[in-house]
Structure formats: C-alpha cells, structure tokens
Structure 1
C-alpha cells in the first residue's frame, strides 16, 4: 500500500529537506590542491615546481624503485631546502625529472645522490657533469642501512636530538613519519623488523637521543629492537595502529597538536609520497597515507584539526576524486555526508542551516524542526557505502548509498543542491542492485512476444512493454497499475518483480498484458515539484490512457480490456474503471486494495511499532499526519501549497482525503475480482471484509484470500515483517485464479 520500503518510508519521514553547515571552515580559509602528472616522473617534477619555482641551491636524487634510500632524504633538508627528484633506471626514462633539475638548479648548486650505483647508476653522474653541474655528492653504502647512516652523518645531527626508528623493508610507516622528522630535524633510521643493524645502532648511540620514536607495531619493529633502544634512551615511545593507515593518523595526532596543513598520498604506491617529503616538510605538514577504506577516519581528523590546506599527491588513479571530495569540507559530497551525520545524531539546528531560500519559505521553522526530529534511521549504517555526484539542470545531486539491516537492498539518499550550494530536495529510494530475479517456472516464454510501447499523447510519455500471446487474436488484455511509490513497470523490489511475474504468467495463458513505468518513476523531478500533483495525475489518468491504447491495438479485443491494480493501484481501480466510461474497461482486479489510504497508513504504522520496526516518534508523526489530514475538516487551510508533508504536497493529501474509490466501486457496473493475502501487514486482511460489506449488494464481485501470501502476493511463514520482502515469485495458483476470472468475463 505504502512505499514498499516500509521501514524506510517511515524512517525517512520527510522527503525534501537537508543541511549545509561548516562553521569550522570558511570558503576563503580552506583550499585543496592536487599535484600530479602523466607519470611518476612528471608528478615528481610538478611537486618540485610547487615546492619552489625559482633557482635552487641543491636537489636530492634518489631511485624511484629504492624507497629506503629516499626516506633518508629528510634529514638532508637541514643542508638547504632540497626537493627530492626521483629517477628511473636510465636517462631516457627520467627525462622529465632531469629537465626540471636542468632548469631550476644553479650551476654551482649541489646534487646529492642517495644510494650506491645499484640504485642510481653512474650514468646519471656523467650526465650531470656534462650539463655543467660539478658539485655532486653521492651518499651510498653497501646496502640501504649504510646509506641511511651516511645520509644522517652528512646532516651532522646534534647530540641529544630525538630520532625515529622505522621499518626499512616496507615503506608506509617510515613514509608517514618522514616529513615530520624532516621539519623537526629528527633523523630517520631504518631497520629490518627483527634485528637492529650494527651501523644503525652505533650511529644512534653516537647521537645520544633524548627521545626515540619507534614507528609501527612489533611486526614492523620487533620488541627485541625496542629493548635495545631502551638501553640507549630511557624515553622510547612506540606509535602504531591496527594498520598502516591508522598508524599514519596516529603519527599525526602525536606530533601535530595544531595542524593547519596536510599532505595526502596513496598508501599503496610510494613514489608520489617520496617526492612530497621535502614539500611537506616546507609546509610543516605531515604526509598522511590513505585509500578508499580509511578516508572517513582521515576526514574526521581533518575536521577536528580545522586544517586550512590539503595537498594531494598523485592523480586520480592513485587517490580517487571521491576521496578528494570527501576530504574537502566545501565539496557537496562532504556536505551531504555531514548532513546525514547531523540527522543521525539529531543535530537539528545544524541541519536547518543549509536549506535554500525557496525551501525555507515553503516550510515554517517549527514544522521543519519537527520533521527532522521525527526521522528515525533504525538499522541504517552510520557511514555510506558509496557517494556519487552528478550534474543536474538546476544544480547537482549527491547520492549516498547506505546498508540497512533487514532490507534486501541498500538505500540511496539523494540530496539535491542548487547552484549556490543550498539544498532544495531530499529523497530516498532503494538502491539499484544486480538482480537475482528469475521468471517463475510456470512461465512459458515461447508462448508470447513483447514489444515496447508509449503511454499517453502528451509531451511526457511513459515507456511500457506489451506482452502479446502468440497465435490467433484478438486477445483479452490487462493493464497493470502500480502501488504507491516511484515504481518501475515490473514493480521491482529487491529480487522480486510482481508485475513481471503476473505479466509473463498471464501472457503464457493467452492474455495480453501492458505494464509501464509509473509517472513518479519516469519523471521524478517533475512530480517532485508539482504542487498540484494528485491521485489522478500520479496514477488514474495514465491507467486510463493505457486502457485506451490497448483498445486501439490490433492484437487486442477492445471489449475485453481489464484493469489489475496492486495496493494503491488496487484502491484506485474502481475510479479508473469509472473514468474509462461505460465502453471502457471490461472489469477490474484488485490485489491488496485498501478501502481507505489514511486508515491503512496508520494501521500499518501501529503494526510496525508493535514489532519494533518503528519508534514512538515516527508513530506519533504518522498519527499527527492522520489527524492533520483526515480529522481536520479545514485541511489544508492555512498551509502553504508548497509545504511537503510526508513526501507530498497538501494538494495530494487533499486528493487522498477526498478519494471516492469506495463509492465508485458501488456505482460502477464492471465486475470485480478482489484478492487479499492473509499475511499482509501493509494492507491488513480486514480490508477484504470491509470490501465485502461495502459491495454486499453487488452480484458481480468475487473474493479470494490466501493464507500464506504477503503484500507482494508471495508466500511466507511466521511473523509478518519487512524482512521477508525482496525474494520469491507470485505463485501459480494466483495466476490461475486471475486467468479463470478473466476467462469467465471474456466469453
């Protein structure tokens, strides 16, 4: 009866409001920039150019394949701000890096080469000399550890200076600390995970550090090494996390109490980050490594620190645009996620700040706050699975996809922003998923064909599919009319397609079927802004047009066109038959049709509350809606026409209040078949008895009820809950009952 996201239709009790509030950030105080190139060498050059565009006194050259050597570069910053330039195996592969050096290094400047000739071969030294650079200093040893010691020795570290110890075989931990160590003047010593190399140990002892910081867990730097270090200094601190990403953030938290700048690099590939060590040191900004998995934790850190500037190293193949948008507090993706966080945490005042002027004028402040307060997100994860943004004619839409416990599909929250970055619409719907739907076994696809059709004669036609039996016609036909919500032509929900089951089942038995996308599905934006949308515009008129189309289709017997409505569509079937006129439809089939929409809405909500699927606040909201519309004889007096009340404008609710389906069912002469599942909590089985009482004087009405069927006419067992939705098919016996009844009135 209601939007079949039962849990969600009540969970998200308001469909057009959201929030935009960033008190910690002002547009002119925050910036985010990406430094990248077509490859790692161009990225390296662009980072260096950003570091300093003028002439340089020195540069550091290291292998892009031997990260350990480059990590030793941090301590050399004391000798003069020197960008780190990565080179490949030969001159040809390194032309972009070498081009930068030629254009920016003074001829009398110094080139520090880190690593032995196995890392940076002698070809590069000859090349630099040929270009007129004669001050070349190679800091290399027999292995990475000896190279590390030589680099630290060149920096002439003062006695008592704190030192860093990190794993030299795996880059992430050492990389995260390198920039901090560089601008603080702390040398970084690298080590295997198990034992501290002798030359490293001796150099640390020589420095006599006041503090030693061990980076990473014991799998990176063993407890044995930590014990040795404690013999050198009483102040040994280990900084670690559950993984490289948490370690990276924990390093920042430990060393940066008043962080304003941040450099972000990929945690899965190191060259871009190595190139950025000198840059981050110049900005006094730590390098934080990230991926798609830890971006939320990083975002939280950025917000808590009130970071003013973020520099991203590498292209979108390294750090996606999605990560950039989430980290940028001024991006719509970030704003949309923060809006949802405010709703989840009931920060109503903050949620009011970002509404567009038009939206605010359509609501009163008190109504908006009440609506926000009444929302419940029971079962919904606090963090989205995905965030996407797309351009709209009136601005942009951000879609956040959430997992919801107990639902067969994820939930898409769609937040629409105008061109000023203000919210003008907020809706929810089931997220599209790869379907496991299968046609019922009783369907014989060889018995019918399908063709595309269009419903309506006006500008905004509705796409449909007409299933036509094979053989000699003309055939009896059925128009399928949807329940509430923005249904597609199949009434898809999870892995169920109620209308596709019925269509294929009837077509297999010689009955043509027309199904089409509902207007609110095909044109959601137009229906969302139509303050005069009512039941006729939403459902009735299109169904009448569908009947007209069938009656003039050559394969169809124009005297044997029936209307089959489900849920709200069933409720409106008598009205559709009336509007088709005396020579219109031959009869109607009502599947789970409520006698009264508002009564059913309240009954359904009370049931969901009783089984724990709706909280008291939401139930109260529905009760208030019921009282406002049904029990208020003056409704909608004194309510602005563009005020949204539970997904719809007042004009729509007035049409619901004044709908005439019960009287229409009495007045029409068409035969009716009324079907009801006894396990239906959305449209309770008691509605069948109500219809029997209303139509007790009519002779051409038949009734069938089914013990095992729920609202979707799919079998289930036990307590009726939303969790059983989303799987199964309409049983053959329901199709057989419909076929039998249509055959009776098609003779």
Structure 2
C-alpha cells in the first residue's frame, strides 16, 4: 500500500532533472476553421485502418474500409480512391508525424469522430503508450507548454511505475469542460478507495496537465435557502493568460450596476472555485448569497488544482505564485466587465489565503483593491500550526503523538537561523524549502499593521485548524490602535463556516451544510459601507 501511495503521489510531482522548468507562451495549433489537428496514423489505426509512409515521395497512405487516401506533405492536393481533390489547408508534419484537421479525416474517410471522441481515444492511447514504454509517442500527445514539465524522465519515472500498479478504467471515463481545459476523469481503485486520474486537454486536442483526486460522487451538495437564481446571473470566465490561465465563475446581481465586487482567494491545497470539501461548497454559498445582495463575486480554480504538475515543478514556488498573481489577474479581469464598479473591489482570503492577504494588499501599489477580508486566516506561518493540528487530532484518536512531534521537528528546522533553502538540513521533508523560507521571512503581523484600507477579520470559535486564542488574537494585535479593522467572532462556526456544537472534528466537513445567512449579511454590509 505504501508503494502504491508513493507512486500515485509521484504522478503529481515533476522530477526536476538537469535544470529548471521554463515558462512558455501559449500555443495555437487549431486550423483556420477552428478545427483541431490530429495525428493521422494514431486516429486512423484506432478506427481499424492501415497507415503507411513513403519517406522518399513524402506521401502518407491511409486505407480504411473501402477507402484509400493519399496525403502529400505541405500540399493541399490529395487523392481519394484514385480521384484528385483539393483541401482548404495543407497537410502538415509535426515531429515526424503527419497531422490533419479532424474534420478532413471525417469528411474524406467517413470516420464520424467528434472532438470528444478523439479526446477519449487519446486518453486511452496515452495510457497504453506509457505502459508499453513508448515514451516518444506518448510525449507527442502533450502540448508544447506542458512538455516542458512532463518530460520523458517524468513519464518514465513517475507515470510508468504508477500505471504498473493501478489500472485506470478507461471504459467508464467521463468528460467535463471548463473555459480552459477539457477534463477526462478516469476511475481507478486502490484497495477499496476510489480515485480519478485526470487528464486535462487544451482546446487544440493536446494533453495539457495531469492530476488525481479522490472520487467525490458519493457527496451531494445542498443549495442554501438564499440561493435565488431569479436575482443573479452566472457566467463562466477565464482569468489570466498564457500557461497559467484559470477557469472561473463570475456571479452577478441582475440589473445595470455598477456593482461592488469581491474576489475569493482559497486556502491551502488544490482547491476548486467552490472550495469543495465533501458535500460543502462555502465559496459557492458566498457567491450566490452576496450576488443576491448586490455584490458581484469572482471565484476560480486554484492554480495548484488546474496545474498540479507544473506548479509542483517550480523549485522556488512561493505564495506569490500560489495566491497573489491570480488574485491580481482576477481583479484585472473584473475591471474589463461592464456593470462592475472598478473602484470598489474587495479581496477575501480564507485560511492560508487570509494569512497571505496582508501581502496581497501590501503589494497593491495601484489601488486595485479597496478593502480586504481575512476569513479564518492564520496570523503565523503554516509550519507553526501543523504541530498543534496534529496534537488536536491525536486527542481525537485521528493522529499520533509521534506525528505531532515529527511536525514540531520540521518546524524547528525551518525556524533555525541557519535554514538554507538551497541546502536544506538533514531530515527536512516538509516540502519545497523555498516555500517555507519565503513564509519564514514574511512579517505577517508587521505588514498587516501597515494596511490603511478597511479590513474585516472573521473567525469561527470552533475552528481547530486556526486558533481563536493565538491567530485571531494575533490579528487584533496587528491592528491594535487602528480604526480600519473590524472583528467578528462566531461561536458556532468551524473552519469551513458550518455551524455545530461542542468540540469540532474533521467528520463535520462531511455533513451537509451551508454558510449561514448572517455571514453573508456581515460581508455584504462591510463591502457596501
């Protein structure tokens, strides 16, 4: 089991071999008609055809059923069943492989292969190629920007071993699309636990990312009572550009506006735009609730979710890449939208997003944000919280004292004055050292104290992940003597802003619930004030 778990984890991590992964511009391999180019040999052989190549004459010949198609490289003329025809676009060669618009193969050979069919076909073929050790063929199916990260070394040392011990069920794969990617979910099982291997395709038909996630089909979200679709509008959007473009949702009040707006910044981990956890979707609750009260809300997939392999490959990853760049990209998008009051944009950070909020506001030199909301944000580095969280869970029988001590030892290594991210100390294993080195040098209390913009600090009193006594009081100390900060403590709420009684446990996160109406009211009142 340990071996399997380690291999699955490797599927999410780029192995940096011989250098740093580079940023690359977005590519466009679509035909002029908006079609996608596909490798002729792969597509036709998958449909039962035969494909041959005459290197001397530069001719690809396809035999499928009763049809014979001859393709001439870098030419528009073709021969179908002995008759000459002229295409609108030239036959192309990419990395030694003949490629052609999918619509041409369909029209000339009667394939009737939709883009969705092709993507599912490529998903199956890719897994088969990796298993068979055909790394070069598998790499050809990757987008150019992604191939900078998903190198042949990664495929051989991470994906191939993983596929040797798990069996993705390609027969039951499903497809879901957003504004950036077409996502194929392929189920697999480890003992009794169900997961999905996720292949993200760009809209040129190339594999653009990998990820894996636990199967969440057993959880059902319940809409809150304040979700009034008659009063709001929802639009699927994309924020940012290039290889870090993110899909998101803009929820707007109905009417002319201009409306104040808020951007929702996630907590730690690979969160989706709703901050989904089991049956809970607190960011979705906030979006529909605030939009019903006249506030536009922009939320988006977190970079660590949409680009899991790429983000893990950055050797000097910090909160700047994880949170800040995308928060500003979201604000820049809002400024282009009719009906948004560009002078009244608030940024809300939950959990680690709240911890980073002083840095977001502190680096805002152009007045992008009017105000900020810290929603159960820690006021100290994450590595200081981990030992406390493990100790709390140990008291519930859900962790061990040894785990708590191990987390404490990791924190001590980072806190040591000699900690060097270029050469981490022996025994360090917490993650990318630059990430925590950056966090160590972030004076969150000092930077918060320099904020002049209005700030609202929210905290659930039953939160065991972020301490009321230490973190909430830390924010009070940071803003001591200042009139720009407001504080609200909610006795019944946990870290996900769900009500409960008594001692909070992780089991609460898997019980249906919604963010209470009074939280919506307090946030809306702060924004409008």
**What's the TM-score, normalizing by structure 2?**
0.61
1:730 is aligned, of 508, 515, 524, to 515
1:530 aligns with 2:310: no
1:539 is aligned, of 320, 323, 338, to 323
State whether residues 551 and 561 of structure 1, in contact with CA within 8 Å, keep that contact through their aligned partners in structure 2.
no
SS in 1 for 2:287: helix
1:636 aligns with 2:425: no
Residue aligning to 1:493: 277
Distance 1:466 1:624 in 2: 43
State whether residues 445 and 474 of structure 2, in contact with CA within 8 Å, keep that contact through their aligned partners in structure 1.
no
Residue aligning to 1:452: 236
Distance 1:358 1:444 in 2: 47
Residue aligning to 2:115: none
State whether residues 411 and 428 of structure 1, in contact with CA within 8 Å, keep that contact through their aligned partners in structure 2.
no
State whether residues 16 and 644 of structure 1, in contact with CA within 8 Å, keep that contact through their aligned partners in structure 2.
no
State whether residues 437 and 496 of structure 1, in contact with CA within 8 Å, keep that contact through their aligned partners in structure 2.
yes
Cα offset for 1:358? 8.1
1:626 aligns with 2:411: yes
Distance 1:17 1:443 in 2: 38
State whether residues 467 and 504 of structure 1, in contact with CA within 8 Å, keep that contact through their aligned partners in structure 2.
yes
Residue aligning to 1:388: 168
Distance 2:305 2:211 in 1: 13
Residue aligning to 1:655: 438
Q: How does 1:474-513 map to 2 (within 5 A)?
A: 474-513=258-297
Distance 1:580 1:627 in 2: 32
Cα offset for 1:460? 2.6
Distance 2:428 2:309 in 1: 14
Distance 1:360 1:627 in 2: 36
State whether residues 391 and 400 of structure 2, in contact with CA within 8 Å, keep that contact through their aligned partners in structure 1.
no
User: Structure 1 residues 411 and 740 mapped into 2: Cα distance closer, same or farther (>3 Å)?
Assistant: farther
Residue aligning to 1:617: 402
Distance 2:403 2:326 in 1: 32
Cα offset for 1:427? 8.7
User: Structure 1 residues 559 and 357 mapped into 2: Cα distance closer, same or farther (>3 Å)?
Assistant: closer
Q: How does 1:288-303 map to 2 (within 5 A)?
A: none
User: Structure 1 residues 724 and 509 mapped into 2: Cα distance closer, same or farther (>3 Å)?
Assistant: same
2:456 is aligned, of 673, 685, 703, to 673
1:558 aligns with 2:342: yes
State whether residues 410 and 428 of structure 2, in contact with CA within 8 Å, keep that contact through their aligned partners in structure 1.
no
| Structure label with greater radius of gyration | 1
Cα offset for 1:16? 4.1
Q: How does 1:43-82 map to 2 (within 5 A)?
A: none
Distance 1:649 1:570 in 2: 21
Residue aligning to 2:474: 690
Cα offset for 1:611? 1.8
State whether residues 460 and 490 of structure 2, in contact with CA within 8 Å, keep that contact through their aligned partners in structure 1.
yes
User: Structure 1 residues 412 and 655 mapped into 2: Cα distance closer, same or farther (>3 Å)?
Assistant: farther
Structure 1: runs of 5 or more not aligned: 1-10, 19-324, 333-355, 363-383, 392-396, 404-409, 417-425
Distance 2:249 2:215 in 1: 23
Distance 1:698 1:359 in 2: 54
Post-superposition Cα deviations, 1:688-747, rounded to whole Å, max 9, x if no partner, equal 111101210221100001111000000112221101113210000111111111111xxx
Post-superposition Cα deviations, 1:143-169, rounded to whole Å, max 9, x if no partner, equal xxxxxxxxxxxxxxxxxxxxxxxxxxx
Structure 2: runs of 5 or more not aligned: 13-126, 134-151, 159-164, 174-185, 200-209
User: Structure 1 residues 501 and 358 mapped into 2: Cα distance closer, same or farther (>3 Å)?
Assistant: closer
Cα offset for 1:583? 1.6
Post-superposition Cα deviations, 1:663-706, rounded to whole Å, max 9, x if no partner, equal 22111211100000011001111211111012102211000011
Cα offset for 1:550? 1.3
Residue aligning to 1:743: 528
Distance 1:556 1:507 in 2: 12
User: Structure 1 residues 632 and 389 mapped into 2: Cα distance closer, same or farther (>3 Å)?
Assistant: farther
State whether residues 455 and 485 of structure 2, in contact with CA within 8 Å, keep that contact through their aligned partners in structure 1.
yes
State whether residues 602 and 623 of structure 1, in contact with CA within 8 Å, keep that contact through their aligned partners in structure 2.
yes
Distance 2:187 2:415 in 1: 35
More deviation, 717-726/657-666: 657-666
State whether residues 15 and 427 of structure 1, in contact with CA within 8 Å, keep that contact through their aligned partners in structure 2.
no
Residue aligning to 1:400: 189
Cα offset for 1:618? 2.0
Distance 2:390 2:447 in 1: 27
Residue aligning to 1:436: 220
**What's the TM-score, normalizing by structure 1?**
0.44
Distance 1:398 1:331 in 2: 20
